[in-house]
Amino acid sequence: MYLFGASGHGKVIAEIAESNNLVVDGFFDTDFNKTKVLEYPVFHEVPSRKVEIIIAIGNNKVRKDIVNEYVNFEYAKLIHARSHISKRTSIGLGTVIMAGVTVNVDVSIGDHCIINTNASVDHDCVIADFVHISPNAALAGNVMIGEGTHIGIGAVVIQGVKIGEWCTIGAGAVIIIDIPDGCTVVGNPGKVIKK
């Protein structure tokens, strides 16, 4: 398995692979100054052959751009050994679930998502592709998150709320109403500050 993106986020993902006794063959990165991450080599030429890969980049749009550009990749998914995931949860390819995460029953998580350290996703949530749920964020039951949305660190979303595509929910925000596509929301209660 290879990781695309030789940065701090990539280090965390490498350790998730290690927690599952998976072999990391190395990283790909276009930055020629990077030659090694942890003890793994960094390669600068993206292969044209089929390789198993995880995109180790936190930016949702960049992950989507890589998926669209490199059609030869075969995507894995990684779930930290110290997370709690319901057996009745669906998890898409390319998705990474980090240590301390809890995902409850009948949750659907799309492709190339990040469910970050100690996040909580309760029952019947639907998380679309390329979403990032930051550390310590909490989604109550029946929450829907649209493609590309970033839920900031420590944010809270009450039950039944729908958040649109490509939104940014600020750190510590408390979301109590539906949020349309493309909005930036901050505060408690959450207020739209940009559309």
Give the Cα separation of 44 and 171 in Å (integer). 34
Of 9, 80, 112, 123, which one is the catalytic site residue?
A: 123
Dihedral, 135, 167, 57, 122 alpha carbons, nearest 10: 40
Tally of CA atoms within 13 A in the half-sphere of 171 that contains its CB: 2
Dihedral, 59, 184, 134, 121 alpha carbons, nearest 10: -120
CA 94 vs CA 60, 172, 185: distances in Å: 12, 27, 27
Please say if 44 is a catalytic residue. Answer: no
The residues that are catalytic are: 123
